[in-house]
Amino acid sequence: MTERHAAAGDVAKLDGLRVALVLGTSAGGVGRHVRSVAFGLAGRGARVVVCGPAETEETFRFGRHGVRFAAIDLADRPRPMSDAKAVGRLRAMLRGADVVHAHGLRAGGLAAAACARVAPGPLRLSRGGAPLVVTLHNAVIAGGTTAMAYAALERVVALGADEVLGVSPDLEDRMRELGARSVGHALVPAPVPRSQPGPAARSDLRAELGVGERPLILTVARLADQKGLPLLLDAAKGWARRTPPPLVAIVGNGPLRGVLQDRIDREDLPVRLLGGRGDVPALLAAADVTVVPSLWEGQPLIVQEILRTGRPLVATRVGGIPRMVGAVRAPGSGDALVHGPESEAALLVPPNDPAALERAVSRVLDDSALAVRLGAAAAERAESLPSESDAVDQLAGIYLRLAG
């Protein structure tokens, strides 16, 4: 993610290429990425259809700018009967495509079944339809029978796709271990805002929140298990002993809202749930430090927004975050990390370690020079982030290679 992936003016034309994008249930970053890609491909001359649940069209409005939308029931959990029907419907819908690109493990597994013939032997797939690209956007963090079902889907994707793209190194490594033909790194850029908040935004937002002279710690996340928000509340117990105690503001909605609010009230934590907001850039500008405490992430859009805003960031060392902020794995060192010239764009802490999270944030609050250095490094790192056009360039090259 440290280099542009296409030179200026080096734009692949896709005149008449028939591209089918397959999307499962989505209400956030994956759907926004597919919409961006669909419109970008159509702008290059491709004939694009997005296949996904009807509610995704209601949320993302894919059917514009020359893109068609076709409703298909792709459930977010394994359901044998409905999955079999979805595969049959997908097979009919994808028959005329030059390239099929599925986003997510569930969509990828069903698309692989729709595009392939089963050959003799366990889980051996032969090509029966259009070339298939699958982008894996999330790790499997469930357990039990759900984990077993997803492990089977991983093998189907690895053996059935012509190209697998992962949003983080661990996903890429997993596909290589399972014998995928070709594995690459997916580009999932955040849209660049048309304008950044002005100087008054910080004071206005801090006045609205009643922060006063207290430090403001900001987290933007869906209120769900993957985001590590209970760990953030654990760390907030320590920050509450500071003088003055900072305000921890959490932006977002999700299934854990009631559980989190009950704990905040019960333990009298200096934490406020702000719900969904349309002014995240201004909130970032108002924050003294931003925190991403997730148990796993790919290429979170909020990290890209934080870097572009130039705010100090403390994040967990999981998934694709280290690569985004400039920390990379040393060759032959397993999971050991080394730091490149841009690695100080964030302080990284282990996941599931609220004490380390508390200490790292306190370091930033106690050391103004560190905060300034982190913010400047974040803004510099943002200059190397891929753009939406870069993502379309990458996919156009892959599609032309597979279709040609």
Cross-strand partners of 387: none
Long-range contacts of 398-403 (CB under 8 A, 24+ apart): 398/133, 398/163, 398/184, 399/14, 399/17, 399/19, 399/46, 399/98, 399/99, 399/101, 399/133, 400/12, 400/14, 400/17, 402/99, 402/131, 402/133, 402/162, 402/163, 403/17, 403/98, 403/99, 403/130, 403/131
Q: What is the pLDDT of residue 275?
A: 96
Long-range contacts of 121-130 (CB under 8 A, 24+ apart): 123/152, 123/155, 123/156, 123/159, 124/159, 125/156, 125/159, 125/160, 127/162, 129/91, 129/94, 129/95, 129/97, 129/100, 130/20, 130/94, 130/97, 130/98, 130/99, 130/100, 130/403
Report the alpha-carbon distance of residue 175 to residue 1 in Å, rounded: 20
Report the alpha-carbon distance of residue 104 to residue 30 in Å, rounded: 8
Domains delineated in the chain: 18-189+387-403 (3.40.50.2000), 200-382 (3.40.50.2000)
Per-residue HEC secondary structure of the chain comes to: CCCCCCCCCCCCCCCCCEEEEEECCCCCHHHHHHHHHHHHHHHCCCEEEEEECHHHHHHHCCCCCCEEEEECCCCCCCCHHHHHHHHHHHHHHCCCCCEEEEECHHHHHHHHHHHEEEECCCCEEEECCCCEEEEECCCCCCCHHHHHHHHHHHHHHHHHCCEEEECCHHHHHHHHHCCCCCEEECCCCCCCCCCCCCCHHHHHHHHHHCCCCCCEEEEECCCCHHHCHHHHHHHHHHHCCCCCCCEEEEECCCCCHHHHHHHHHHHCCCEEEEECCCCHHHHHHHCCEEEECCCCCCCCHHHHHHHHHCCCEEEECCCCHHHHHCEEECCCCCCCEEECCCHHHCEEECCCCHHHHHHHHHHHHHCHHHHHHHHHHHHHHHCCCCCHHHHHHHHHHHHHHHHC
- Yes or no: say if 206 and 238 are a contact pair by the CB < 8 Å rule: no
Report the alpha-carbon distance of residue 126 to residue 119 in Å, rounded: 6
> What value, to the nearest 5°, has the Cα angle with vertex 208 and ends 204 and 213?
80
Total Cβ atoms within 10 A of residue 92? 9
Centroid of chain to Cα 39:
19
Q: What is the pLDDT of residue 143?
A: 67
Residue 22 φ/ψ, nearest 5 degrees: -110, 130
Q: What is the pLDDT of residue 233?
A: 98
Residue 76 neighbours by CB under 8 Å, 6+ apart: 24, 25, 106
Q: What is the pLDDT of residue 256?
A: 97
Report the alpha-carbon distance of residue 308 to residue 108 in Å, rounded: 31
Which amino acid belongs to residue 306?
Answer: I
Give pLDDT < 70 ranges for the chain. Answer: 1-12, 117-128, 142-143, 327-343
Token pair of 96, please? 């005329």
